[in-house]
């Protein structure tokens, strides 16, 4: 598509004469082509026009235009560089954070081989990053779907579910590969410690609290509680945030509570009695 435009140039600084150029603009290959020069106020200025003069001014016009383009290009590159630099800085900070987090987990494993310790640390940090990439991609795709107006509610929900299912499938595949890599470098007890490190040791904290709250639990009940907590951990270790990890444990704590209630335990009463026992075990400092 071609459009015409009008550009004004000063003939000289003293008389402020104007050259008006009718130009053509090509969208595919932008160019400005002087076509007609109309000289105004000739009598007042004594201005005389010649093709050489026209060419000289056209040249200066083009030189100025290209100079502006170069400045704009420079500014664009500068802004891009700043943006890329900010992104790189953020990425470096994130990698530092997950590497330090992974190192804290490795410190609990009792690995004497420094090379193996580094390998395991990198596996854990890599899992954090891979999970983050999947979660971020999923969230961005869902956000883009919801920002669109072309889909009705039912169609939108179907597409959102499809995105979520695709992400879940990727996470399941990643989960298996990750555990396989850990198992090549660690024994089963150490692998469990890695899982606990990635989920704030909620399995053991919850299990211990449940047994303290209900001392009369049978061995079968204890075993079932631990099985559910371990299952919750498998899901929680792939979650994208602390909140999401605790939500997974919350779901399984609900299962445990229902299971114990069905077995005849009054959980409200058991909790109240547990609190009394805790308070009674505290040192009495009232007389000091």
The reply to whether 183 and 109 lie within a common domain is yes
Average pLDDT of 104-116?
97
Q: Could you give the angle at the alpha carbon of 262 between the alpha carbons of 260 and 263, nearest 5°?
A: 60
Number of helices (H), then strands (E), belonging to the chain: the values are 9, 3
- In degrees rounded to 5, what are phi and psi of residue 237? -70, -15
The reply to whether 45 and 71 lie within a common domain is yes
pLDDT at 181 over 90: yes
In-domain check, residue 89: no
Q: How many whole angstroms separate alpha carbon 202 and alpha carbon 100?
A: 20
Per-residue model confidence as pLDDT tens digits over 153-163: 899 999 999 99
The reply to whether 163 and 204 lie within a common domain is no
In-domain check, residue 84: no
Q: If DSSP codes are grouped into helix, strand and coil, which group holds residue 26?
A: strand
Q: What is the pLDDT of residue 148?
A: 82
Percent of the chain with pLDDT over 70: 68
The reply to whether 184 and 218 lie within a common domain is no
Q: Return all residues near 10 (Cβ < 8 A) that are at least 6 apart.
A: 16, 17, 18, 19
The crossing angle, in degrees rounded to 10, of helices 188-198 and 153-183 is 140
Q: How confident is the model at residue 15 (pLDDT cuts 50, 70, 90)?
A: very low
Q: Is 110 left (phi over 0), alpha (psi -120 to 50) or beta?
A: left
The reply to whether 122 and 144 lie within a common domain is yes
Q: How confident is the model at residue 197 (pLDDT cuts 50, 70, 90)?
A: very high
In-domain check, residue 88: no
The reply to whether 268 and 205 lie within a common domain is yes
Average pLDDT of 263-280?
96
Q: Could you give the angle at the alpha carbon of 131 between the alpha carbons of 100 and 187, nearest 5°?
A: 65
The reply to whether 188 and 215 lie within a common domain is no
Q: What is the pLDDT of residue 34?
A: 36
16-20, 54-58, 218-222: segment of lowest average pLDDT: 16-20
Answer with the one of 175, 193, 211 that is the final residue of a domain: 193
In-domain check, residue 251: yes
Q: Return all residues near 255 (Cβ < 8 A) that are at least 6 apart.
A: 228
How many other β-carbons are positioned within 10 Å of the β-carbon of residue 202? 20
Domain enclosing residue 118, as ranges: 102-193
Average pLDDT of 45-60?
48
Q: How confident is the model at residue 87 (pLDDT cuts 50, 70, 90)?
A: low
Dihedral of CA atoms 15, 21, 27, 31 in degrees, nearest 10, equals -80
The reply to whether 111 and 179 lie within a common domain is yes
What rounded mean pLDDT belongs to the chain? Answer: 80
Q: How confident is the model at residue 151 (pLDDT cuts 50, 70, 90)?
A: confident
The reply to whether 186 and 209 lie within a common domain is no
Per-residue model confidence as pLDDT tens digits over 89-102: 888 999 999 999 99
Q: How confident is the model at residue 60 (pLDDT cuts 50, 70, 90)?
A: low
The greatest distance separating any two alpha carbons of the chain, rounded to the nearest whole angstrom, comes to: 113
Distance between alpha carbon 67 and the CA centroid of its chain, in Å?
39
The reply to whether 66 and 123 lie within a common domain is no
Q: What is the pLDDT of residue 211?
A: 98
Answer with the one of 167, 193, 219 that is the final residue of a domain: 193
In-domain check, residue 93: no
The reply to whether 189 and 205 lie within a common domain is no
- Tell me which of 16 and 227 has the higher pLDDT: 227
Domain tally for the chain?
3
Q: What is the pLDDT of residue 21?
A: 34
In-domain check, residue 274: yes
The reply to whether 61 and 116 lie within a common domain is no
In-domain check, residue 62: yes
The crossing angle, in degrees rounded to 10, of helices 188-198 and 51-106 is 120
Answer with the one of 143, 158, 193 that is the final residue of a domain: 193
Q: How confident is the model at residue 288 (pLDDT cuts 50, 70, 90)?
A: low
What are the DSSP E strand ranges found in 107-247? none
In-domain check, residue 97: no
Per-residue model confidence as pLDDT tens digits over 122-136: 999 999 999 999 999
Per-residue model confidence as pLDDT tens digits over 29-44: 333 333 333 334 444 4
């Amino acid at each position: 598509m071609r459009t015409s435009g009008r550009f004004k140039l000063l003939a000289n600084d003293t008389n402020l004469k104007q050259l008006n150029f009718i130009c053509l603009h090509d969208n595919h290959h932008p160019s400005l082509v002087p076509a007609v020069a109309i000289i105004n106020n000739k009598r007042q200025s004594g201005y005389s026009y010649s093709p050489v003069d026209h060419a000289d001014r056209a040249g200066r016009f083009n030189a100025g235009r290209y100079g502006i383009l170069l400045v704009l290009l420079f500014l664009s590159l500068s802004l891009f560089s700043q943006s890329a630099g900010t992104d790189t800085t953020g990425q470096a900070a994130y990698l530092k954070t997950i590497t330090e987090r992974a190192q804290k987990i490795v410190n609990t494993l009792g690995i004497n081989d420094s090379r193996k310790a580094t390998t395991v640390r990198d596996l854990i940090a890599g899992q954090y990053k891979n999970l983050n990439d999947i979660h971020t991609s999923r969230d961005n795709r869902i956000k883009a779907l919801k920002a669109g107006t072309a889909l009705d509610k039912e169609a939108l929900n179907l597409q959102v579910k499809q995105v979520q299912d695709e992400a879940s499938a990727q996470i399941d595949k990643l989960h298996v590969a990750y555990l396989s890599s850990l198992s090549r470098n660690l024994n089963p007890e150490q692998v469990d410690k890695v899982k606990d490190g990635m989920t704030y040791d909620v399995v053991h904290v919850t299990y211990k609290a449940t047994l303290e709250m209900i001392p009369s639990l049978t061995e079968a009940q204890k075993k079932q509680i631990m099985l559910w907590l371990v299952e919750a951990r498998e899901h929680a270790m792939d979650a994208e945030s602390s909140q999401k990890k605790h939500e997974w444990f919350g779901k399984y704590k609900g299962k445990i509570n229902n299971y114990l209630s069905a077995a005849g335990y009054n959980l409200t009463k058991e909790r109240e009695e547990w609190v009394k026992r805790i308070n009674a075990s505290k040192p009495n400092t009232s007389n000091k």
